[in-house]
Structure 1
Amino acid sequence: MAVVRIIIKILLLPVRICLTIIQLVVMFITWLSATVFHTLSGIICITAVLGYGFGQETGTEAFRMLAMGFILYVLPILAGWIVVWLEAIKIRLMGD
């Protein structure tokens, strides 16, 4: 039985390597997008609040801007969940 486990681990090694490379690429893209999107969402949310506060925007437009800022803030978080999901798949493939 131990020999079969070793053979399966050897056969799954290319899959683990591919998953690791994909995970690293997704982690880098997540970091980059988090930096850009969080900054952008902060600017959008501040603009929406100040625009509504100074009477430059209607309530509907301010709400739309806040919703867009929230969506831009959440996108990198969803990508982080994908990274965790890939790590879970790698752990299951290891069989430990």
Structure 2
Amino acid sequence: MVVVRIIIRILLLPVRMCLTIIQLVVMFFTWLSATVFHILSGIICITAILGYGFGQETGTETIRMLVIGFILYVLPILAGWAVVWLEAIKIRLMGD
């Protein structure tokens, strides 16, 4: 049984390496998009609130802009969940 486990681990080594590389790439893009999208969503939300406060935008336009800002804020969080999912797959492949 121990020999079978060692053989399976050796066979799954390239899969684990590929998952690690994919995970690192996704982590980098998540960090990059989080930085850009959080700044962009902050600008959009502040613009929406100030535009409504100064009477430049209607209530519906303000809500639309706030929803877009929220969506841009949530996208990197969803990508972070994908990174955690890849890590869970790697742990499951280890079999410990």
In the alignment, the residues of structure 2 paired with residue 51 and residue 9 of structure 1 have an alpha-carbon distance, to the nearest angstrom, of 59
4+ residue segments displaced more than 4 Å: none
The match for 2:66 is 66
Task: Mark the runs of 5 or more structure 1 residues left unpaired by the alignment.
Answer: none
Shift of 1:91: 0.1
Task: Mark the runs of 5 or more structure 2 residues left unpaired by the alignment.
Answer: none
The match for 2:14 is 14
Shift of 1:80: 0.1
Shift of 1:85: 0.0
Q: Secondary structure at the match of 1:12?
A: helix
TM-score by length of 1: 1.00
In the alignment, the residues of structure 2 paired with residue 6 and residue 53 of structure 1 have an alpha-carbon distance, to the nearest angstrom, of 66
In the alignment, the residues of structure 1 paired with residue 55 and residue 34 of structure 2 have an alpha-carbon distance, to the nearest angstrom, of 31
The match for 1:48 is 48
The alignment covers a number of residue pairs equal to 96
Shift of 1:70: 0.2
Q: Secondary structure at the match of 2:57?
A: coil
Give 1:17-96 correspondences, 5 Å limit. 17-96=17-96
Percentage identity across paired residues of the two chains: 89
In the alignment, the residues of structure 2 paired with residue 57 and residue 2 of structure 1 have an alpha-carbon distance, to the nearest angstrom, of 69
TM-score by length of 2: 1.00
Partner deviation per Cα, 1:38-75 (whole Å, 9 max, x = no partner): 00000000000000000000000000000000000000
- CA RMSD in angstroms comes to 0.2
Shift of 1:90: 0.0
